[in-house]
A and B are shown apart, each in its own frame.
Chain A
Amino acid sequence: MRCGDFKETYIKDEEIFQSLFVKFWLCLFFVFLIVFPFLANQYMLYIANMIGFAVIGAIGLNLLTGFTGQISLGHAAFIGIGGYTSAILVTRLGISFWLSIPVAGLMAAAAGMVIGIPSLRVKGLYLCIATLAAQFIFEFVFVHWESVTNGITGINVPPPAIAGFEFKTEKSFYWITLIFSILAVIYAKNLVRSRMGRAFMAIRDRDLSAEIIGINLFRYKLSAFAISSFYAGVAGALWISYLKVITPEHFPLLLSVEYLAMIIVGGLGSILGAIFGGIFMTLVPELLNFLSGIVKAFMPGQEAILEPLKNVIFGMLIILFLIFEPRGLAEIWNRVKNFFRLWPFSY
């Protein structure tokens, strides 16, 4: 009896949707994504949008850190550049939001390429510090280039619109987030299967060997920075259009650290990992909020202990995931999938 998943050609092996089973569940997932806004309340849609932005940003960082091995602590700055570019184009120059999105991505990509230059000479912790410097430089620029960024006061951004229809509710913005998230995933998934993706991974595994086999390190490292920052820029532009306001305080160093945590918890070097990371880091604190609300109802007056405990539990969950599955949530998912793939004949 045929049991399991067999591939008989390399083309089959490279397919994104490898079996009927995967296609079926993916279709079901898409149906869920389409039906979701009609069933969910404002709050759930707010979280869904936030997950979308996190996923786009995390995929970008995973392409750089997880696939190319270039650690970056400047991701928040690139998100900020995208956000500010879009806000300035829309409010000052009257350019449409839709056009501002690719421009925001390109601006962030340009900044990313400049910041990525040190990656040609330094790596590991040293590169981490170089990108950290970029984070501080851009934070300074956001605050002090007042004629452009409006300084600490920030810029109020109008909601996106098409033919008079404004995307100002969580529900309407959900469709924008969903489309951009899907595009981000599809592009990244294809990129890592391409020559460029393989070059990224070769650089990650051993840059010297990669160069010996003919990979142009200069080109591919900067490309990784550019693509990663492009994703960050798009995520930033979407995020601020959703929030309808941008201030320098939206892009602190902590945001860069959160994105790093996302891809580590989700799974380095995996597109699915970035998606899981984005979901985990956005959804789990909300679940803990919900649970702490229930506990609070049973233990009135104990808020001073219960509220901080929520953060402790979140931290513990991250540590436990890393201890029990260092390859992240994506690996847990793979194990679950493998179980069902052979079910009921798992052994």
Chain B
Amino acid sequence: MKKVFILFIGCVLCLGALGAGAAMAEENPTICAVHCFTGRFAFAGIHGAAGMKDAIDMKNEEGGINGKKIVYHWEDGEYKNDVGIAAFKRMYAKHEPHMMYGQSTGMTKALAPEIKDRYKVLYSSYSFAEMAANPEDNPYLFIAGPTYADMFGVLLKYIAEKDPGANIAFFYSDTEFGREPIPAGRKMCKEMGLNLVAEEIAKVGGVDVTTQVLDMKRKKAEYCIFQGFVTTPITTVMKQAKDYGLDCQFMGTFWSTEKHLLDQLGPLADEYMGVTAYSFYYQDENPMIKKIRAWNQKHHSDKADYRSQAYMQNFMAGLLFIRALENADELGGFTPENLVKGFQSIKDYDVGGLTPPVTIENNSIPVGRVVRGNSKTGQFDPVSDWIRLK
């Protein structure tokens, strides 16, 4: 029965441990983040966590915000809403941060009302969903890039200029991630004089896409924009389109404009285009990319070969958090109001070519660039300049 005692004492200690670390408002500017380090979005979360940490560490190495070092804490949210929200609340209770970063649209949506009324922290996340680009309803929420609808806008604008009146197909997943920008996309097609001839829906990871490919062929789609997928079924659709003789230009938004998709596409990579919000790791003609590469070489030499776009997104979010802190500090302190003002007042902020100089509009950065895959280099080459919407 000693075991029973040990078990009992163990349980008591663990419960005590959970309660340990009562709320401590840290004097230094504090950022807390929930990254999906495990789960099905871990491919982005692992790089993303590193991106944000590097941006903050760089700033701290340069002296922090007027000598105040930025404190950064993060936890794994497993790409599950419950786990992510629990991590948010746990970190908030423990550190009372000034800014927080979330792992998904679902988590943002669930927390948005409380962030507005209760937590009042400047908040961004991996998601590019429209709801975070609405300062009237959600003043504390922002997107460190364009919304998904903006990305559709960039692609459609590119198509409209190159091929007026073209036949467009939307191919999206049956998820919030997939459906979110579709109504805006429909509207933009009309405004730009493009013919939206087909809307195809498939499951994430689905492999049976023959019906959708044949439907696009019947409707003579000339451009197909994917949304809500990372790799599968994009590769299958493109391979089947080739088999069935569908002559169509395939394109994707941010999360499907990544190196691993090109690797999977192989020779078909040349036929794939996408929209990106940030310069790629290999575009080291940009001073910020050069700086990031040097930092990675020095601090994470094992990972210095390549850093994904998720890294860049989080690095950018880190830069914006830092800029907002600097502006808030000038306004008199890191209060929620000052942080929002400090963030929204960002104008022509030079980020060293990671994106064009940043000007915040509707708590987002409605800028993107169209790129094309290159099967020889396994990289995306820019085919347009940065396109700014609105």
Contact = CB atoms under 8 A, between A and B. Distances in A.
A47 interface: yes
A234 B179 CA distance: 29
Nearest to B94: A43
Given A152-B176, A153-B176, A47 B86 contact: yes
Contacts of B383: none
A206 B171 CA distance: 51
Interface string B1-14: 10010011000001
Contact of B86 (A43, A156, A311): A43
B118 interface: yes
A283 B176 CA distance: 29
A169 B90 CA distance: 14
Given A308-B38, A311-B38, A41 B113 contact: no
Contacts, number: 103
Interface of B is mostly: helix
A303 B113 contact: no
B117 A168 contact: yes
Nearest to A254: B80
B86 A245 contact: no
B23 A289 contact: no
Interface string A130-159: 000000000000010000000111101000
Given A245-B113, A293-B75, A308-B38, A285 B176 contact: no
Contacts of A245: 109-110, 112-113
A153 B99 CA distance: 25
A332 B10 CA distance: 15
A311 B78 contact: yes
Contact of B92 (A43, A47, A303, A346): A43
A245 B106 CA distance: 9
Contacts of B75: 289, 293
A159 to B, nearest CB: 9
B86 A50 contact: yes
A291 B14 CA distance: 9
Contacts of A17: none
Interface of A is mostly: helix
A72 interface: no
B82 interface: yes
A46 B7 CA distance: 25
A287 B174 CA distance: 34
Interface residues of B, number: 42
B74 to A, nearest CB: 9
B81 interface: yes
Given A168-B117, A244-B110, A50 B82 contact: yes
B114 interface: yes
A249 B176 contact: yes
Contacts of A169: 118
B49 interface: yes
B366 to A, nearest CB: 21
A249 B110 CA distance: 11
A301 B38 CA distance: 15
Nearest to B49: A303
A212 interface: no
A293 B18 CA distance: 11
Interface in B1-38: 1, 4, 7-8, 14, 17-19, 22-23, 37-38
A44 B76 contact: no
A12 interface: no
A198 interface: no
A321 to B, nearest CB: 12
Interface in B141-178: 174-176
Given A287-B18, A289-B87, A247 B106 contact: yes
Given A43-B93, A50-B86, A152 B175 contact: yes
B46 interface: yes
Interface in A276-310: 283, 285-287, 289-293, 301, 303-304, 307-308, 310
A303 to B, nearest CB: 6
Contacts of A289: 75-76, 86-87, 90
B90 A250 contact: no
B37 A243 contact: no
B83 interface: yes
28 contacts: A41-B23, A41-B93, A43-B90, A43-B93, A44-B93, A46-B86, A46-B90, A151-B179, A152-B180, A168-B118, A169-B118, A245-B112, A249-B176, A283-B18, A286-B86, A287-B17, A287-B18, A289-B75, A289-B86, A289-B87, A293-B75, A304-B46, A307-B38, A308-B37, A308-B38, A310-B38, A310-B76, A336-B4
Interface of A: 39-44, 46-47, 50, 143, 151-154, 156, 168-170, 243-245, 247, 249-250, 283, 285-287, 289-293, 301, 303-304, 307-308, 310-311, 332, 335-336, 339, 346
Given A154-B176, A244-B114, 7 more contacts: A40-B19, A43-B86, A143-B174, A168-B114, A243-B85, A304-B37, A335-B4
Nearest first, the 6 closest Cβ-Cβ pairs linking A and B are A43-B93, A307-B37, A43-B90, A41-B93, A152-B176, A46-B89
